[in-house]
Structure 1
Amino acid sequence: MDDIIDKEELDKDTDEPTIIEQLFQRNYNLLTQTAVTLKKSYVNKLDGTSSLKIAVGVADNNSVEVFDLKKTSLSLICRLSGHEKSLTEVVFSQNDDQLLYTTGHDGLIKLWDLRAGGSCAQEYKDDDDEQIVKPFECVDVSCNGRVLCAGSQLVQDDAYLVFWDQRKPKPLGGYWNSHTDDITQIKFHKEKTEIITTGAMDGLLNVFNILEQTEDEALTFSLNVENSIEKISWLDATQVACTTQSNDFQIWNSETGDMIRSFSRDKVAKSIKRSKGDDCYLVDAYTSVDDTPVLLAGSHGENGDVLRSVTVAGKKLQPCSNFTQNKQTVRCCWYNKERDMLVTAGESGLVSVWSATDGTGPETAVNSKITGAIKNLRVNRHKPY
């Protein structure tokens, strides 16, 4: 048995350290870092605001910790606790950074008001049939902050998308025929309140126009990713990126239904210069300050602290950044394009803030900008709204 283990390939860099440094030229400095608790905790949900409030979901106790980034430190604002079952999503309102939404397997969406010490201001649930609890896997809010949409696990052969007016606890309506397995992600368009995209375990990436009268009319595209979808992100007005549970990466055009790019796990591993594809994992995708699509990925190999990013350049993935100060397997991230700042969190319960640098040290123009900014459907299931 020892001989078999000895001969097993170990994940490692495919180039020398000096070459790695030359390839990954976009530098990010670890501005600050904090642990959510004194115990090792698993963080798998994260969101932020333009005013640099950071909310993280702690899987161990289904709580949410909300921080304020001040200069070079994260200050705890409040701790939110109210879901009896697994917490599955945290998301800030797009037009009010004092409002935070959470959802979980208890079938509830909770609205928290940070101005009132983190009190629960509203609860939303779908109680059309009180005998059936819909365990929600995800939630998102429209860019104008008015419409909520939550996606459920498969319940008696149906997976539900349920809509609410943000001001009312009872649902407007919903869709339940477009997915055949647990809905894992919902993302509203960044500028168009009527456009949403959803992903599920059934491998479908669906695009809806919810101004249409029926679900069939609203479903603009049903795109077959051919793998269970883990995360979705809007890269721009038309491009939607998704990562799968087998760590593949795809980009689709939401207006034509065409696949633009597809990269396997092995290709991503090669692009971050690691030798073993099976140890590669994908975190999420976002659009950088120069409007380039970026994929954040890591490796479980060695100490499990390898975290790097690559950019999409034509048909290839090009090395971008090497986060050498990372100390954990990262599970979620949030990118602030205005400040070119990345926040990551993961399996060791660390919340890390990375700011762009020119390689000369931590005191950069970006850090100065951060400091300055801190100072100064009804039951008939028809049209959701």
Structure 2
Amino acid sequence: MADIIDTEEEDRDIVGPEEIEQLFSKKYNLLTETAVSLKKSYINKLATSKSLKIAVSLVDNSIEVYQLSNTSLSKVCKLSGHKKELTDVVFLPKEEHLLHSCGQDGLVKLWDTRTSGSCVQDYKDEEEQIVRPYLCMDVSCNSRVLCAGSQTVQNDAYLVFWDQRITKPLGGYWNSHTDDITQVKFHKKKPSVLASGADDGLLNVFNIMEPNEDDALTYSLNVENSIEKITWLSDTQASCVTQSSDLQVWDTQRGDLIRSYDRDKISRTIKRSRGDDCYMVDTYRSADGECVMLAGSHAGSGNVLRSVTATSKKLQPTSNFVGNKQIVRCCSYNAERDILVTTGESGRISIWSTSAEIKEQNGVGHKLATSMNKMRVRHKPY
């Protein structure tokens, strides 16, 4: 019997280097980079503050916190305390030295990065004996309300709310999702507005000031695919990245699907030949208000990382991140400084900017050559 030969070509660029250079015209430089461990250590989650304090969660269920200064990344502290997989981290918007985390051990913790990373508060669940493994969390823009989303437990998936100053839950929702809740994101300006996404394919929008769950649920939008990431792009628009690396943008005031792009469309825009080898990292709102998508390819050494911008008519190639060294899983954009932070499977924290020259630093990373400017309680959760 003849051997079966795989004739499928590996993913590659469909245009030459000169055209890539011209198409991806917004240039980002790798300012600085650090590896969180001498061994490759997969980074699961990323959180950044406005002052560019950076927290990453690692596969050993610990958190490492760094500060971006004018010239480099410096390690602030390491946090350990979760007994099972650590699933999310988020800084308090109003108190950037404080950091929340949650995990599949059902624990929600508050850490103070000023005190060598000590845990200053554990948030209790209800008095029931049920352990709710949490997969995601977020804090409202006024730093008052904390929400965590759970795996399905006894046929219910929970959104649990706390006043971040008090350990006992304010309440919870458990009827709006029928599968594991994968994302919760508070609105950037409206502390009462929350979006949640789950493996049931629903993108739900809540007004948590309403007295009960039924009244709080403003829209239940059917994405028809498991939701991996949600981003608020504007006052009225939210995007979601699906498990199959498709992107949808929704109007959360009217409940309308505005734009939708599948993985093949995105891969063609970043000028790659095989959609199956490409992946979506996340979306963010650029400094000029556009929706930017970050995507990459698994092919070769996994160094291909590019961004595209979603205009009203089509996708436009934007940036080619030359010098990327890993499959990127998380990103965070700082619009004030036009800085993008990326992390991923090789355990690297990479800082990208359009504004500064770079130089080699001991063959390991790069640094700036110039300084940067500047529950069973179904009631109203808050």
* TM-score interval for Structure 1 and Structure 2 normalised by the shorter chain: over 0.9
> For 1:213 and 1:27, how far apart are their aligned partners in 2?
49
Alignment of 1:213-292 (within 5 A): 213-292=211-290
Q: Shift of the alpha carbon at 1:342?
A: 0.3
Give the letter aligned to residue 350 of structure 2: S
Q: Which residue of 1 aligns with 2:378?
A: 381
Decide whether the 8 Å contact of 2:46 with 2:57 is kept in 1: yes
Is 2:142 aligned against 1:141?
Answer: no
Decide whether the 8 Å contact of 1:253 with 1:260 is kept in 2: yes
Helix, strand or coil: the match of 1:80? strand
Helix, strand or coil: the match of 1:321? strand
> For 2:195 and 2:13, how far apart are their aligned partners in 1?
36
Q: Shift of the alpha carbon at 1:315?
A: 3.2
Calculate the aligned-residue CA RMSD, in Å.
1.5
Q: Shift of the alpha carbon at 1:290?
A: 1.0
Question: TM-score normalized by structure 1?
Answer: 0.94
Is 2:99 aligned against 1:103?
Answer: no
Q: Shift of the alpha carbon at 1:314?
A: 1.6
Q: Shift of the alpha carbon at 1:362?
A: 3.5
Q: Which residue of 2 aligns with 1:331?
A: 329
Decide whether the 8 Å contact of 2:71 with 2:371 is kept in 1: no
Q: Shift of the alpha carbon at 1:324?
A: 1.2
Q: Which residue of 1 aligns with 2:365?
A: none
Decide whether the 8 Å contact of 1:230 with 1:242 is kept in 2: yes
Q: Shift of the alpha carbon at 1:371?
A: 3.4
> For 2:370 and 2:255, how far apart are their aligned partners in 1?
39
> For 2:137 and 2:353, how far apart are their aligned partners in 1?
28
Higher helix share: 1
The count of aligned residue pairs is 373
Q: Which residue of 1 aligns with 2:78?
A: 79
Q: 2:168 aligns with which of 156, 170, 190?
A: 170
Give the letter aligned to residue 179 of structure 1: H
1:57 to 1:2, Cα distance in 2 relative to 1, 3 A: farther
Helix, strand or coil: the match of 1:116? coil
Q: Shift of the alpha carbon at 1:372?
A: 4.3
Decide whether the 8 Å contact of 2:71 with 2:369 is kept in 1: no
> For 2:5 and 2:105, how far apart are their aligned partners in 1?
45
Give the letter aligned to residue 169 of structure 1: T
Decide whether the 8 Å contact of 1:339 with 1:370 is kept in 2: no
> For 2:51 and 2:81, how far apart are their aligned partners in 1?
25
Q: 1:362 aligns with which of 358, 361, 382?
A: 358
Decide whether the 8 Å contact of 1:92 with 1:101 is kept in 2: yes
Q: Which residue of 1 aligns with 2:206?
A: 208
Helix, strand or coil: the match of 2:95? coil
> For 1:315 and 1:89, how far apart are their aligned partners in 2?
35
Kindly provide the CA deviation profile for residues 314-338 of structure 1, in whole angstroms up to 9, marking residues without a partner as x.
2311100000100000000111010
> For 1:369 and 1:84, how far apart are their aligned partners in 2?
42
Decide whether the 8 Å contact of 1:231 with 1:284 is kept in 2: yes
Decide whether the 8 Å contact of 2:104 with 2:135 is kept in 1: yes
> For 2:187 and 2:239, how far apart are their aligned partners in 1?
12
Q: Shift of the alpha carbon at 1:81?
A: 0.6
> For 1:325 and 1:262, how far apart are their aligned partners in 2?
30
Q: Shift of the alpha carbon at 1:114?
A: 1.0
Give the letter aligned to residue 74 of structure 1: L
Structure 2: give runs of 5+ residues left out of the alignment: 360-367
Q: Shift of the alpha carbon at 1:226?
A: 0.3
Decide whether the 8 Å contact of 1:329 with 1:348 is kept in 2: yes
> For 2:306 and 2:274, how far apart are their aligned partners in 1?
15
Q: Which residue of 1 aligns with 2:118?
A: 119
Decide whether the 8 Å contact of 1:261 with 1:315 is kept in 2: no
Structure 1: give runs of 5+ residues left out of the alignment: none
> For 1:81 and 1:174, how far apart are their aligned partners in 2?
27
> For 2:247 and 2:41, how far apart are their aligned partners in 1?
27
Question: TM-score normalized by structure 2?
Answer: 0.95
Q: Which residue of 1 aligns with 2:25?
A: 25
Q: Which residue of 1 aligns with 2:155?
A: 157
Give the letter aligned to residue 33 of structure 1: E
> For 2:150 and 2:376, how far apart are their aligned partners in 1?
17
> For 1:306 and 1:113, how far apart are their aligned partners in 2?
36
Decide whether the 8 Å contact of 2:151 with 2:179 is kept in 1: yes
Give the letter aligned to residue 25 of structure 2: Q
Give the letter aligned to residue 80 of structure 1: L
> For 1:335 and 1:22, how far apart are their aligned partners in 2?
23
